[in-house]
Amino acid sequence: MKIYSDTVNINNNTIRYVVTVGTFDGLHIGHMKIIDSVVRKAQSVNGQSVLVTFEPHPRLVLSKDYNIKLLTTFDEKRKLLQEAGIDNLIVINFTKQFSQLSSEEFIYHYIVQKIGAQHMIIGYDHKFGKDRNGDVNKLKQLGEKWNFSVTSVPPAKINGEIISSTLIRNALNDGDIEKANLFLGRAYSFSGTVVEGVKRGRTLGFPTANIHLNNEMKLIPKRGVYFCSVKLMNENLYGLMNIGIRPTFENKKELVIEVHILNFNDDIYGQELEIDLIKRIRDEKKFESKEQLVNQIENDKKQALEYINVLIN
């Protein structure tokens, strides 16, 4: 997959470009339905697929809600799009100035001039341009004007709900990791570097790796204990992850992310871990004694081992 900035012109009269546009935060099942259509259409016309996206997330620029967190960082998005078979990724630097382009100006400047699209595929509810006043009907009108065709992809639904980034974000904030994973079509994940902590886990018999996120804009789910898989270099492991403030001992204000990797006790400071969250086990609790905490962790570990048996059998 080739990656371009918005200053690059890839227009080539000998190549048939099939294009989609969007923020694609999460790259959930609905997004992948659109992307799969783009890839298959490009293959059917012996052309190339193009995905146009925006960095940073438009809501970070336009909204007063600066607390929005990302379902997918750019690095995660790039990896997933490459795996999905996208040929070309164009990243537009989203600024307030860019947001003032009308829908017609955006399509002409980027889709027509810079890319030379022959076909566009977008989601049924896609909006674009200043004040989001462009939609599928507007895009079809512009396609007739500038000689490209348009396909609208209907929504993807599970259990009667239309899959969306907002629903997934809400599920994660509620701790409903299984619903989030169902809508994503994969396990919700994040990555970070192992850093030194207070090492209290070792004194309890459950050493933990403290994780410093690679991207602090990544959305972290509701506080609690999770069963997870852990990728360390080329090794796939399982673990118990605690997301919280350590109320029993410290009651910290800032969130701490730590994982106890099952049947593992190597020194991995400075190593990068990729964490896939599989199931939420319980809320974070404050215990009256160290012994109560140890007993609870033992019970958590038993549940985790049961989950592993289900996964491998």
What are 135-146's pLDDT values in tens digits?
899 999 999 999
Q: Evaluate whether 163 touches 170 at the Cβ level (below 8 Å).
A: no
Residue 203 DSSP SS3:
helix
What's residue 197's pLDDT? 65
pLDDT of 202 strictly over 60: no
Pairing of strands 2-5, 17-21: unpaired
Contact criterion met (CB below 8 Å) for 270 and 248: no
* β pairing state of 48-55 and 88-93: parallel
Q: How many CB atoms lie within 10 A of CB 255?
A: 12
Q: Is the pLDDT assigned to residue 201 strictly greater than 70? A: no
The token pair at 91 is 């990243």
Say if residue 215's pLDDT is above 70: yes
Quick one: average pLDDT of 191-210? 73
User: Between these two residues, 227 and 253, which has the higher pLDDT value?
Assistant: 227
Phi, psi of 73 (to 5 degrees): -75, 170
**pLDDT top residue among 286 and 16:** 16
Confidence at 199, pLDDT banded by 50, 70, 90: low
Q: What is the mean pLDDT of residues 91-107?
A: 94
Highest mean pLDDT pick, 7-16, 40-49, 97-106, 228-237: 40-49
User: pTM for this one?
Assistant: 0.90
> Mean pLDDT over all residues of the chain?
91
pLDDT at 205 > cutoff 60: no
> Per-residue b/e over 276-293, b at no fewer than 16 CB within 10 Å?
bbbebbeeeeeeeeeeeb
| 299 Cα distance to chain centroid | 31
Q: How far is CA 203 from CA 28, 187, 239, 288, 291, in A?
A: 41, 31, 18, 17, 12
Q: How confident is the model at residue 188 (pLDDT cuts 50, 70, 90)?
A: very high
Give yes or no for residue 186 having a pLDDT over 60: yes
pLDDT at 254 over 80: no
Catalogue all structural domains in the chain, each as residue range(s) with its CATH number.
2-160 (3.40.50.620), 187-312 (2.40.30.30)
pLDDT > 50? residue 203: no
